[in-house]
Chains A and B, each alone.
Chain A
Amino acid sequence: MFIFRGPSPEDLHLTPEQGQAQMQKWFNWIGELSAKGRYVGGDPLVREGKTVKGKKPVATDGPFAEGKELLGGYVIIKAESLAEATELAFGFPDFANEGSVEIREIVKMPMPS
Chain B
Amino acid sequence: MSSGETQSTQQLVDHLFRHEAGKMIAVLTRIFGIHNLELVEDTVQETFLKALQVWKFNPVPDNPGAWLMQVARNKTIDLIRRQQKLADISSELQGRLLSNTENTIQQFFLDTEIADSQLRMIFTCCHPALSPEDQVALTLKTVSGFGVQEIARALVSNEAAIQKRIYRAREYIRTNHVQFEIPSGVALGERLETVYTVLYLLFNEGYSSLKADEPIRYDLCGEAMRLCKLLTEHKVGAQPSSFALLSLMCFQASRFDSRIGEAGTIILLQDQDRSKWNKDLIALGYRFLNQSSTGDYLSVYHIESAIAAEHCLAPDFASTNWDALLRLYNFLLEHKPIPIVQLNRSVILARTAGIGAAIDTILDIPHIGELLNRHYIYAAVLGELYAQAGNSAESRRLLEKAYELTPSLAEKKMLQEKLAAIH
Contacts and interface: CB of A to CB of B under 8 A. Distances in A.
B3 interface: yes
The 6 closest A-B pairs by CB, nearest first: A31-B9, A15-B147, A16-B17, A42-B57, A44-B53, A20-B17
Nearest to B15: A17
Interface of B: 1-12, 15-18, 20-21, 45-46, 48-49, 51-57, 60, 145-147, 149-150
B5 A27 contact: no
Contact of A15 (B8, B12, B57, B149): B149
A31 B7 contact: yes
13 contacts: A15-B149, A16-B147, A27-B60, A30-B56, A31-B10, A34-B4, A34-B8, A39-B4, A40-B5, A42-B2, A43-B2, A43-B57, A73-B53
Contacts of B10: 27, 31
Interface in A1-19: 9-10, 14-19
Interface residues of A, number: 30
A18 B57 CA distance: 18
B12 A30 contact: no
Contact of B6 (A9, A27, A34, A44): A34
A16 B1 contact: no
Contacts of B18: 16-17, 20
A81 B28 CA distance: 50
Contacts of B9: 27-28, 30-32, 34-35
A37 B46 CA distance: 33
Given A22-B52, A26-B56, A27-B10, A16 B145 contact: yes
Contacts of B11: 24, 27
Given A10-B49, A16-B147, 5 more contacts: A23-B51, A27-B9, A27-B56, A73-B56, A75-B57
A41 B17 contact: no
Contact of B7 (A14, A20, A34, A73): A34
Looking at A22, A30, A73, the one whose CB has the most chain B CB atoms below 10 A away is A30
Given A17-B147, A19-B48, A23-B56, A42 B1 contact: yes
B52 A30 contact: no
A30 B1 contact: no
Contacts of A41: 1-4, 57
B146 A17 contact: yes
Contact of B49 (A9, A39, A43): A9
A73 B54 CA distance: 10
Nearest to B9: A31
Given A34-B8, A40-B3, A43-B2, A16 B57 contact: no
A76 interface: yes
A76 B2 CA distance: 10
A40 to B, nearest CB: 7
Contacts of B6: 34
Contact of B17 (A17, A35, A75, A76): A17
Contacts of A16: 17-18, 20-21, 48, 145, 147
Contacts of A35: 8-9
Looking at A17, A27, A34, A37, the one whose CB has the most chain B CB atoms below 10 A away is A17
A19 B4 contact: no
A17 B223 CA distance: 13
Interface string A40-65: 11111000000000000000000000
Interface string A76-113: 10000000000000000000000000000000000000
Nearest to A20: B17
A39 B154 CA distance: 39
Nearest to A33: B4
Contacts of A26: 55-56
Contacts of A27: 9-12, 55-56, 60
Nearest to B46: A10
A46 to B, nearest CB: 9
B12 A39 contact: no
A34 B5 contact: yes
Contacts of B52: 9, 14, 19, 22-23
A17 B60 CA distance: 17
A39 B150 contact: no
Nearest to B1: A41
B15 A44 contact: no
B57 A73 contact: yes
A39 B51 CA distance: 20
